[in-house]
Amino acid sequence: MAVMLTACAAPNRRTQTSGVEPTNVPEWQGRISVQVLGDAPSSVSASFWLRGNENQGELDIYSPLGMTVGALQWTPQTVQLSEGGKLRRFKSLAELTEQTTGAALPIDAIFGWLQGRDAQASGWQADLSTLAKGTLSARRNHPLPEVTLRIQLDP
């Protein structure tokens, strides 16, 4: 997953998906980075295309050439990651994000933040002041390790 999250080019917006109904489903694309500080610091970044909500959706991760190198799908019943022809299942999106980035990300809050709501997540502080310009940043100070999340949306 670390290899897949090193992309930096933005993909072309997709028009159809197989896992999420096509009508009135929010979607975003751009670049995301997660930096985890602590004993084993890590940093990952990727271009992405996100569609859905915290309950059901899809997230595609792209290579610098715009090719899909990983695809996440989730419903209330399943969370799965497809990468390199292999399918992995997880108990939750928090478990998936912890295993792939080094920190469990506040998925419910992230969807709220992307929609301009000051959603609360324990230990996290989000800066939505530049969201109108397509930039979102959030920081978790506790519990440790400290985590910084940055999202740059494509116009």
Kindly report, residue by residue over 104-124, the tens digit of the pLDDT: 999 999 999 999 999 999 999
CA–CA separation, 42 vs 103, rounded Å?
10
Specify the pTM: 0.82
Q: Quick one: 4-10+25-153 is in which CATH superfamily? A: Lipoprotein localisation LolA/LolB/LppX (2.50.20.10)
C-alpha to C-alpha distance for 138 and 118, rounded to whole angstroms: 11
- Whether residue 147 is predicted with pLDDT greater than 50 in this model: the reply is yes
